[in-house]
Every structure is written in structure tokens, then in C-alpha cells.
């Protein structure tokens, strides 16, 4: 990649002293530089309430890189592009010094006046920062300006609408990059390719040939040091409204007329609009919740922190999603996500219908349906389960696997999702960022769940740490004649 092809910008990180910046943003920017996707024409400005100097900030950046460092020789050169500006986001006067610093850096690094404002902070500050960026003139750069926002975008549909209205008063939709880091994962992006580049799948990708789809995103860890955030969020807001529904949309969308951002987003919105809406009194027919208690892998959620002792926040959600359109009518999309589960895994299982009369099985219990398994994390890859004759005499059948492992191919190992998304933002590719219409439709779908569960007293805890969730999640599928496929393959 030539220097002329590398994006130029000053990246301003609000909340640069926080956990997200240290764990994800700094290492991702480092890898972009090491991989040659960013040249010398960039600068990173960290802001925060702490009275740090440039040197203190750079030392913290170095520490955040950990084992990611490929060469200590170029570490000082890399961190020399990092600058710190103490800032109170609620104080308009704090932004005046930031404007002077950006002008100086833009002249020195020849960034063309391009600016990215990355809000790695609580959403309560999004509107405040946007308004101050406008009032201080920081938004009106010589080049392009982009605003990157982390989830959650609101707490429900009304609050999301209010937040969007506030931000849109300052930034156009084309300038707003709402991050969903799942969309930066290599195998999530591969869903479209698996479908639309392979006739063997796309011709069968409908209710005539698919019996159900299962999406699992399980975490083996608990809430760790995120208890304050998580207890106000819960699994629905933290996972279902964004990550899980985005994967449903990618799996169920119609083929776009081309691969432009606008067309792909348009097809995803159509899926989200077709989700069967639930009334509050009908939520229990489609969704179950859970909270982990003491188990083999740790203590219960209510023991993680003193303020959680009587919490009714869900740490697990399983649901059946129906898509009422021509392609998917009658096919359940089952989702489950939770903390303190048996294994960490993100996996999609597409179960195909059996043939009308299978001669090779004596009873229904012996049948092995064809499965397409997409492993997003770990062991990224694709596995297709087929049936074949066992070696030797007779007609006994056994399932076999055709597998492709992304980790085993040189040069295409899965990149860190934030690395991919930061680069996409720098080059102006919005395909893997969520449009406001996607956010609004997702909130519209989950709001009845939140409304019921906030007013209803759950019987928690109802699953042990280290298990795969409450028994009710299994019953959700059993009543339809299905079962959860294991997240760990034989």
C-alpha cells in the first residue's frame, strides 16, 4: 500500500484514560501502523479529566500494548504521535485549548484537516460532547469530520430517539459511525460471502430447506469490574439489541443489488422491520432470562459486588425470533447469550430440513440433520456436516465434517475487530457500522422485553456458573421439536 493510499487524520479519543482505549483502541492503532495501513500522517489526542502530561499518556499507551509490540525500536516513534489534553467534557472552555492543539498537529503531520472524534465514554456524555464540538468550532475542520460512538445508543427507543436528535443537530448521518464490534469480526463479515458467493447455500437459504437457525454468544467470565455498567444494562441491552440482532439481520437479509454500504444497510433494515413484534404480555412465549448463581466456575452474580445483592438484572437471555416475510416465514431463529457459561464461543448453526423419506435411519432419534456451522470465535471457520456410509459392510450412516479453519491459513488470520473498524472509519467505509434505522428497529423489537422484565420479579439465580443457562432455555426449543446444538464440536 503506497503512502498516498493511507488515510490521514487526527484521532481525538474522549475517555482516553479508560479501559476501552487501553484494551482495544491503542493496540488496534498500533497494529494498523505496523501493518502499513496508517503512515506517518496521523496523530492521536487523548482527553480525560486526569491532569496527565504527554509523557505520562505515552507511557500508558506503551503499557497497553503489552505483548502486541513487534519491535521495541519503533515504539518511541509510534507513541510520539500521541498527545494528551486534560478536558472536562461538560465545560465549554476546555474545548478551546483542544482546537489550538489540533491546528498545530494538523500542520505538523499534514493530515489535511481530517478529524475523527471517538467517544469512548458513557452515552450520557454523547450529546454534551457533540454540542460542545459544534460550539467550539472543532467540528468545522478543513477536511472531513467523523464521530464514532460506542454502544449502548440509548436505553430504550424513546431515549435513543432523543439522543439521535441531539447528535443529528450537529452531525449528519453520513458523519456518524456507530460501532458494533461484532461487525468487525472476520467471520461475521464472511456471512455475506458464504451466502452470496455460493449457490450451494443461497439456493437453499429459505424456509423450504432450513428448519431453524441458532446463534450462540456465550462468555465464560462474569461481570468482572463492569458490575456498575452491567447492572444498568443487562444482557438484552448489552448483547441482544445490537450484536445478536445484527447477526440475525446478516443471516436473513435478501441479496443486495450491489455491495455498497447503502444497499447492504437497506436489506438489513428490511429484516429488522419484518421481525415479529411482541406484545408485553406475549414476551414469555418467545424469551427467557436467567442470572448465574454459584457454580463450578465462580460465585453468583449477586455476590460479585455489594450493590448486586438483590439485583434482578439478567445475565442470560434466550429467545425465539420469527421473521414474517416470504423467505423466512415459519423458521425460528433461536438466540442465546450469557455470562459465566460453560465455554466462550460465538457460533451460528444452520439446521437444514431432512428429506421426506430417509431410508438410512430406522428411527427419528438416529437422524443426523445436515448442519452448516459458522464459528466466529474461537477457531474461526466453517464446518458442513454431511451423512456418509460407514466403512465396511452394511448401510450404516455416520455424520462427517467438511471443515475450513480460518486460523490455519497464512496471512488471513482474524484481525482484531477494532482494528478493522477504525481503519474503515478512516477510509470512510460505513458498511460495518450501524445506521440509525437499524438502531431504531432493534430498540422497537426489544422494548416489550425490557418493559415486562423491569416490572416482573424474577426467580434468580436460576443457572449455575459454568453451565449453559437455565433449563427454560432448553424447553424453549423442545416445544418446537428442536434442541440446542453443542457449542463445542466432537
The alpha carbon of residue 395 and the mean position of all alpha carbons in its chain are separated, in whole angstroms, by 45
User: Does residue 18 have a known ligand-binding role?
Assistant: yes
User: Does residue 324 have a known ligand-binding role?
Assistant: no
CA angle 441, 442, 447 (to 5 degrees): 100
User: Does residue 401 have a known ligand-binding role?
Assistant: no
Of the candidates 11, 265, 275, which has an alpha carbon nearest to the alpha carbon of residue 118? 11
List, in sequence order, every residue forming a beta bridge with 216; answer none if it has no partner: 336, 347
Helices 436-455 and 261-274 cross at an angle (nearest 10°) of 30
User: Does residue 181 have a known ligand-binding role?
Assistant: yes
User: Does residue 219 have a known ligand-binding role?
Assistant: yes
Residue 50: all three cell numbers together: 486526569
User: Does residue 364 have a known ligand-binding role?
Assistant: no
User: Does residue 89 have a known ligand-binding role?
Assistant: yes
Segment (H or E) for 34: helix 26-34
Concerning whether 72 is annotated as a catalytic residue, the answer is no
User: Does residue 254 have a known ligand-binding role?
Assistant: no
Q: In angstroms, rounded to a whole number, what is the distance separating the alpha carbons of residues 325 and 27?
A: 42
User: Does residue 63 have a known ligand-binding role?
Assistant: no
Give the up-direction half-sphere exposure of residue 113: CA atoms within 13 A in the CB hemisphere: 8
User: Does residue 185 have a known ligand-binding role?
Assistant: yes
Q: In angstroms, rounded to a whole number, what is the distance separating the alpha carbons of residues 450 and 109?
A: 48
User: Does residue 73 have a known ligand-binding role?
Assistant: no
- Answer whether 180's CB lies under 8 Å from 433's CB: yes
User: Could you say which of 81, 85, 243, 435 is catalytic?
Assistant: 243
List, in sequence order, every residue forming a beta bridge with 86; answer none if it has no partner: 48
Cis upstream peptide for 268 (omega within 30°) = no
Residue 120: all three cell numbers together: 469512548
User: Does residue 101 have a known ligand-binding role?
Assistant: no
Q: In angstroms, rounded to a whole number, what is the distance separating the alpha carbons of residues 401 and 257?
A: 33
- Answer whether 449's CB lies under 8 Å from 236's CB: yes
Of the candidates 40, 23, 36, 21, which has an alpha carbon nearest to the alpha carbon of residue 70? 36
Asked whether the CA dihedral 122, 278, 468, 344 is positive or negative, the reply is negative
- Answer whether 89's CB lies under 8 Å from 76's CB: no
Asked whether the CA dihedral 241, 247, 251, 257 is positive or negative, the reply is positive
CA distances to 2, 19, 69, 240 from 75, rounded to whole Å, are 22, 21, 8, 39
Q: In angstroms, rounded to a whole number, what is the distance separating the alpha carbons of residues 333 and 249?
A: 11
List, in sequence order, every residue forming a beta bridge with 42; answer none if it has no partner: 9
DSSP-derived letter for residue 241 is I
DSSP 3-state of 322: strand
Grid cell 447477526 in the structure block, residue: 247
User: Does residue 344 have a known ligand-binding role?
Assistant: yes
Q: How long is the chain?
A: 490
User: Does residue 74 have a known ligand-binding role?
Assistant: no
Sheet with 397-405: strands ordered across: 287-290, 316-322, 332-338, 210-218, 345-352, 371-377, 381-389, 397-405
Active site residues per annotation: 243
> Which residues fall in the annotated binding site?
15-22, 49, 88-89, 151, 181, 185, 219, 238, 339, 344
> Which residues fall in the annotated binding site for NADP(+)?
15-22, 49, 88-89, 151
> Which residues fall in the annotated binding site for substrate?
181, 185, 219, 238, 339, 344
Amino acid at each position: 500500500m503506497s503512502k498516498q493510499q493511507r488515510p490521514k487524520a487526527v484521532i481525538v479519543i474522549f475517555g482516553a484514560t479508560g479501559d476501552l482505549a487501553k484494551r482495544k483502541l491503542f493496540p488496534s492503532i498500533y497494529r494498523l501502523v505496523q501493518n502499513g495501513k496508517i503512515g506517518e500522517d496521523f496523530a492521536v489526542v487523548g482527553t480525560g479529566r486526569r491532569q496527565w502530561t504527554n509523557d505520562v499518556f505515552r507511557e500508558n499507551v506503551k503499557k497497553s500494548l503489552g505483548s502486541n509490540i513487534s519491535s521495541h525500536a519503533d515504539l518511541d516513534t509510534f507513541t510520539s504521535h500521541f498527545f494528551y489534553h486534560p478536558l472536562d467534557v461538560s465545560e465549554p472552555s476546555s474545548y478551546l485549548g483542544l482546537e489550538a492543539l489540533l491546528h498545530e498537529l494538523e500542520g505538523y503531520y499534514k493530515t489535511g484537516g481530517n478529524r475523527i472524534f471517538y467517544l469512548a465514554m458513557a452515552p450520557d456524555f454523547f450529546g454534551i460532547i457533540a454540542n460542545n464540538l459544534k460550539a467550539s468550532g472543532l467540528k468545522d475542520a478543513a477536511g472531513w469530520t467523523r464521530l464514532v460512538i460506542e454502544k449502548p445508543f440509548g436505553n430504550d427507543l424513546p431515549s435513543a430517539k432523543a439522543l439521535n436528535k441531539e447528535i443529528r443537530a450537529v452531525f449528519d448521518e453520513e458523519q456518524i459511525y456507530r460501532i458494533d464490534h461484532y461487525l468487525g469480526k472476520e467471520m461475521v463479515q464472511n456471512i455475506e460471502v458464504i451466502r452470496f458467493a455460493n449457490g450451494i447455500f443461497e439456493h437453499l437459504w429459505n424456509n423450504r430447506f432450513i428448519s431453524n437457525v441458532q446463534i450462540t454468544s456465550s462468555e465464560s467470565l462474569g461481570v468482572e469490574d463492569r458490575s456498575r455498567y452491567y447492572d444498568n444494562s443487562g444482557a438484552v441491552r448489552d448483547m441482544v439489541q445490537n450484536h445478536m440482532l445484527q447477526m440475525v439481520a446478516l443471516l436473513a437479509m435478501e441479496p443486495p443489488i450491489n455491495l455498497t454500504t447503502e444497499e447492504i444497510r437497506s436489506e438489513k433494515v428490511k429484516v429488522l422491520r419484518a421481525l415479529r413484534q411482541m406484545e408485553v404480555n406475549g414476551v414469555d412465549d418467545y424469551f427467557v432470562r436467567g442470572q448465574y448463581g454459584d457454580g463450578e466456575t465462580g460465585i453468583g452474580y449477586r455476590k460479585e459486588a455489594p450493590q448486586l445483592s438483590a439485583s434482578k438484572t439478567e445475565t442470560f437471555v434466550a429467545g425465539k425470533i420469527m421473521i414474517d416475510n416470504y423467505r423466512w416465514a415459519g423458521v425460528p431463529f433461536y438466540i442465546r447469550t450469557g455470562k459465566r457459561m460453560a465455554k466462550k464461543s460465538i457460533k451460528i448453526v444452520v439446521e437444514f430440513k431432512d428429506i421426506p423419506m430417509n431410508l438410512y435411519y430406522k428411527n427419528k432419534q438416529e437422524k443426523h440433520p445436515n448442519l452448516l456451522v459458522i464459528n466466529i470465535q474461537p477457531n474461526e471457520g466453517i464446518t458442513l456436516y454431511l451423512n456418509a456410509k460407514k466403512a465396511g459392510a452394511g448401510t450404516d450412516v455416520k455424520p462427517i465434517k467438511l471443515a475450513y479453519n480460518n486460523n490455519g491459513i497464512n496471512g488471513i488470520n482474524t484481525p482484531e475487530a477494532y482494528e478493522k473498524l477504525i481503519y474503515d472509519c478512516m477510509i470512510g467505509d460505513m458498511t460495518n457500522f450501524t445506521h440509525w434505522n437499524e438502531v431504531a428497529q432493534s430498540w422497537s423489537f426489544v422494548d416489550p422485553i425490557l418493559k415486562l422484565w423491569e416490572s416482573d420479579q424474577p426467580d434468580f439465580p436460576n443457572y449455575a456458573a459454568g453451565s449453559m443457562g437455565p433449563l427454560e432455555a432448553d424447553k424453549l426449543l423442545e416445544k418446537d421439536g428442536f434442541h440446542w446444538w453443542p457449542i463445542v464440536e466432537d
